[in-house]
Structure 1
Amino acid sequence: MEHLDTFMTKNVKKQIMGLIIIFILNTIMAIVFTIANKSLVTESLYNVIVALRCINLSIQVLALLGLIFEKRILAHLSILLCLSISLSIVTLFPSSNNLIALISVSVTLILIQLILSTWYENRKVTLALGIGTVLYLNIFAAFEPSHPSISDYVDKTLYFSIIITLNYLLIMISLFNVALMMSINRATGFIKNLIYIDIKTGLFNERQFEHVLSKAITEQSKLIVLAIDLSNLQELNHHFGYRTIHKLYVEELSRIQSLMLPYGSTYKLDGPVLAYIVPSDQNSLIGSKTNLAEIINQLESTKFYETHEIHFKYQMLATQYPQDGINPSQLIDNLYHLKYSNTPSINSIRWYDQRSFDQLKRRIQLEKDLEQAIQSGDIYIVIQPQVTLKDYKVHGAEILARWRHPEYGDVSPNEFIPIAEQMYLIDRLTEHIIKEATVIHNQIKEINSDFKFQLAVNISASSINGKLDHHFRELTHPFEIEITESTLISLTENAKYTLGYLKAKGFTIAIDDFGTGFSNLEYLHALDVDVLKIDKRFVDSMMNSDKALKLVEALIIMAHTLGFNVVAEGVETKMQCDVLAVFDCDIIQGYWFAKPMLPEQFITFYKSSNDFN
Structure 2
Amino acid sequence: MQISELVEIFAEHTDIVFWVRTDSEMLYINEAYERVWGFSRKALYQNPNSFVELVHPEDLPELLDYLQSDKKQTPVWSMQYRLVLNSGEIRWFEVTNKLIDVEGRNFPGIMIGTAIDITQEKRISDKLFASEEKFRMIAENTSDGLLVFENNQVVYASPAYFKQLGYEEQEELGRDTASIADLLHPEDRDATLHSIQQAISRGDEELVYRFRAQSKQGDYIWREDHAKFVYDDNGNYVRAYVVARDVTDHVLTEQKIYDLAMSDRLTGLCNWFKFTQDYAMTKDDGGDKVFILLDLDGFRLINDTHGHHQGDVILKFIGSRLKKAFPDAKIARYGGDEFVLLFNSITDNQKQMNLGVEFLAQSILSEVARPFRLYDRSTIRRKYSLTAGIGVMTFKGYIPLQEVFRLAEIALYNAKHRDKNQFAIYDEQMQQCMLQKVTMEEQLARALVDKELEIYFQPQFDLQHRCVAFECLLRWFHPQDGWIAPDQFIPIAEQMGMIVVIERWVIQQVCGLLQSKVFKENRADLSASINISSYHFLQEDFESNLLATVKEAKVDCCLIVLELTESLLISQKELVSEKMARLKPFGFRFSLDDFGTGYSSLSYLKNLSFDQVKIDKSFINSMSEEAKDLSVVKAIVALAKALELELVAEGVESEAQQAILADLRCDLLQGYLFSKPIPKADFINKFVITKG
The structure that has the greater radius of gyration is 1
Comparing both structures, which one devotes a greater share of its residues to strand? 2
TM-score range, shorter chain: 0.3 to 0.5
Normalised by the length of structure 2, the TM-score is 0.42
Q: Whose relative contact order is higher, 1 or 2, with alpha carbons under 8 Å and at least 6 apart? A: 1
